[in-house]
Each structure stands twice: as structure tokens, then as C-alpha cells.
Structure 1
């Protein structure tokens, strides 16, 4: 099982949904970075369960403990170990699933690969493991902050309810003013009502998160097989429930002509820039200095509170009705996870390029 992400800036994670704790080790963090523990906790609070009526009711404080690699408020360059303890597991809720395969979960594939699985909340395949990614991403954000690079994600679609404009049409700071994390408050209310309606029926719904990276210098990315958009895509597709990734205009560009898609270069007061940004800030697999933007599609959560057909460990047909506390839509809590993965990719590539000095 591969549990390490990154090349120079790396995150190695451990833990299960219903185990004692989730944690990890970040290596490659530049020395001398101011470590704002309040900011790290804030990023975890954005991901934590039980934060609104449209998320799981599981109550976890998700308090992070930094164990190493920080001295007098700054990173030392040594590995940063951290832990977040689980305190509100209801493992009994999963006892009826011990010998069954939940539809569209990792139960069957884990059983086939390892011959054993933790049926309590999915064990290692649970979205709770993304806690470690948020901590790693928060540390990466602290380093990127000193480089003037910012990362902002937001919910742009839930079901069929979608924002009509691109990211330039909205004040993205408004995304944190509502529980759906959508920058348009009126659309956010429609999304919230839809999620609440779906939840009341014991069902789930998916959607899209858009992410924007500003201030990224040109030159990040490692062709031929380490293109920046490929790394971002791999990072996003590694998040639980993600089914699709597109950057720039993505699939929408196929309906246009090259004359409409090409980003014409300009010299603005000695700085090379482009008149448009259909490319999404990446050309030839390398950042070009423009905003990087991409979209991530999340499927409806696989755990629904309705009876479904399935089979048991012996292949016998049976039925399952899930119990427990589950998200009817992952998007509100997935926004900080998308940002975290993007932050780690960008910092890892900056460290590889050394195009800018801290």
C-alpha cells in the first residue's frame, strides 16, 4: 500500500476511520517558515464533521497535535510529525456490514487485494483519512504564503444547480460565508435546500468543486511525465469520491476552434502575459504565470440510508440498509481537501524548480 504523496515535499499518512487516531509525517518542509498552529487548526475545522445540518452528525473536535519539526514557532527543516485522535467512533453502527460488501464502496476491492478489511466505516478507505491531507496542505499553504501564492476552492455545482459564470465573476471570499461554500449566496441557498431534501430521503448527491491558484510563477512542472496538470489531476483523483478532473476550459474547449482557444502573448510593461487564459495557467505541462484553475467532479456519497441489494463474503445474495452518520453531499467538507492537495503539488514543484527564493 502506497501511503506517501509527493517527491520533495512529502506527506506520509497513517490511521483508520475507527482506529485510535489519524496522523502523518511531512518531510521536505523548508526551514524557517512561521508555523501558525491556529491556521492549521482552522483548515481542519473547515473539513471536520458535524459542522452543519447538511453534513454528517459525527462530532469530532479534530484537534491536531504537532509532535516534531517545529521550534520556537518555526519549521526546522526536520520531519513534522502530527496526530489527530479519533474520539467519537460508533463502530457498532457497522456491525451489520461485517460480512457484506457495500455497493460502490472499497469493501470488495480491499478484500480481494489484501484478504482482510476493516469494516468499521471503511477503515483505511474512509474519507476521514483526508484529515492528514488537510494538515499537510495547511503546512504547504504556510510556505506558499511567503511566496505570494494563494489557493481558493469553492462549490460551483450541486446536482443540477450550478454557478453560471467562471471564477472571475465572483468574490471567492464569500465562499466561506455559507455552509455550502459557494461564493454566490443565493445559489448557495438553493444548493443547501437541495442537499437537505436529498438527506431527508436517505439519499446522497454529487457536484463540482472549482479551484483557483493565484501568484504561481512560470516554470513549475516537469515534462515529460511530470507535467503540472497531470500532477494536479493525480492529486485530485486520489481524493475519495472524485470521478473527474479538468483544467482550463477542459472538455468545453472541444466545441471551439484553435483561433478561439489560443492565448495570445502580450508584453505589458516588460512583463510577458497572455490576453486570455483558456489554457488554465499551464502550457506544455509547465505553469505560465497566469491563474491556474481546474474543476473536480465528486460522485454522490456511496453510503445511502436506503435498502440495497448486495452479496455477502460467500457470494450469497442479500440486502443491506446502512446505519450510522454520513454526509449527504461531500462537497462542503471537500473544499479544503482540494485546496490542500493543490497546495502540496505546487510547493513540491516549486522546491523542484527553485525558480523563486524564499
Structure 2
């Protein structure tokens, strides 16, 4: 690569290509830097979920191969949707972590090739910061500080966000996390034991609309007076659902799938929203962002609206299409990083499956 070790500050008008390949979706997105935040120009997504469905979860080797096969077409489609050509791009951003090691490397290799061919800076950025940055594509710059609830298949975290550019110490700090299963992981496991297939989130959300959320009082993890106030636990909830189903089957009783889905979903939404509002209130933060793939869930969105309104908090949630993994969110965080004047990533940039959320960009 010929990109310099230090990058100039990119200002309004600069275009960023974002590439995402951390799990089972290949994403490419293009945004333009503006004074009102990054502007989405176009993006494309290719998913390999159907290839993983028979296994009940993501198979890393299959995901990596799918990224390799779909990357070029996905990037081309994003350019077509944006009405741009490669000469319009001023920088490339790519997910450097966290994620699946092999999947990350496919996206990074592609991003390095594009940046070298076009002689533009490359920024390796944090996937989790990208989820938060996705909201700025719709609602503009975030107030500082903002409290972000990040809920996905692999992560459930409460984050204090002071900057998405990573130019200040503690730009993103974790104040709470799951001690076992992430919320999205619990959805997938409950869907599997109910025979609903993979991924579990959308089908449970759909069936929950037909059920009674008060039918079964499933446990709310880590909500006791001596428990960590901002941490989460969903393993016990998943086990409680399994034991309930096993008990019904042992007694020869029908399994009310819709009621179980609704009651399980209510337990998840109750804990997520209660702890988020509590954290924002305790920390004196007036704006809450709910981000990540599980943020597309209708009950989590609805209960977040109710409880934030009651607490006098401003709630921001990206539209569902920007909640799941996508290249636009990576371009968005890349735009914040590029505008802040952060150094470009080195030629030796690699994937870091455990990249901490506090590392917004890799330099």
C-alpha cells in the first residue's frame, strides 16, 4: 500500500467506502462527510444466513467463503446505488474487529486492495462503534455524552459515548455488559429449542405478536438489589424456557409456542430497557441510542420508547435496515474517524476478534 502513515483531516464533501465482513453478512456502503454528520449515499448487503440455517448458527469457514465470493459484486452494487465511481472515494474504512477471524481477514484484504489501487487512506475501525455510528446516518451528530445500548447476536453492552472519532481518551467506555449469553444469542438458542430455525430473532418477534407476554413469568437476570446494576445475564432465562418446555412435554401437554415467545421476549425487553434507563438516569445522560441487530426487535423498540419518554430521555434508534451488520455503519464510523484526523491504519493491519470497544480505530 502507498497510503501515508498519517492522514489529513477529511472535511465536508469527502466520500468514505465502508466494508463489513465480521460475521455472516458482507456489506459495502458509501457515505459523504457533511457538517450535519455522515450522509448515506448507497449501500448493499449480501447475507449467507441461509447457508448456516441447517447448522443452527454461523459456521466460520462457510462465512469466510461466502464473503470471498460476494465481496466484489457487493461493492460494485453499492457504487451503482450511490451513483459513484471509484475516483469519487477519498478513504476506505473496514471492520478490523471484533468478529470471526477468517471473515474479518476477507474484508480487510479487500479494503487494503481498494485503498492501494485508488491511493487513498485506509482506516481499520471497530464494528461495535459502527453500530452506534449507524444512528448518525439518520439523526445527525450524537450529543456528548450519549448512552448506547448495543444489542446483537454476540454483544449486549451499555456504552458511554463521548466521541465516535476516537480522538479523545475514553471516547467510548463500557459501563455494563453481559456476563454470559448476549441477547441475540439467547434468541437463537430459544428458537432452536422451539424448533423455529435460525436466526431466531425475527421469527420469535413475529410469533410473540400472537402470544400473551404475561402468560409465563420468566426470570429477569441480575435484577436483584445486590446485583451489578448495569450488567446483563440471559443464560438463566434461556434455561428457564428450556425447563418450562421440558415440563410441558413430560406431562404430555401442548407447548404454547406463541405465549412462550411473547413471555421470553418480554423478559428480555424488560431487563434491557430497565437497566438502560437506570444507567442514563444515574449518569445524568439525556440521550439514549439503541443499536445492533436486536434493536430491530419490535418489543425492544416499543418498550424503549415508553420508558425513555417516562424518564424524560431522548431516544434514538436507527431504522431496522441499519441495525443489522452493514457496510454503511462502517463507512459512518470511518467518516467520524477520518474527520477527526486520526492516523491511518498500517500496512500490517489485521483482524482482531477481541478488539475492545474503546479502540475506535486501529492505527
Same fold (TM over 0.5): no
Of Structure 1 and Structure 2, which has the larger fraction of its residues in helix? 2
TM-score after normalising by structure 1: 0.28
Task: Give the structure, 1 or 2, with the largest relative contact order (CA under 8 Å, sep 6 or more).
Answer: 2
Task: Give the structure with the higher percent strand.
Answer: 1
| Superposition TM-score, scaled by structure 2 size | 0.28
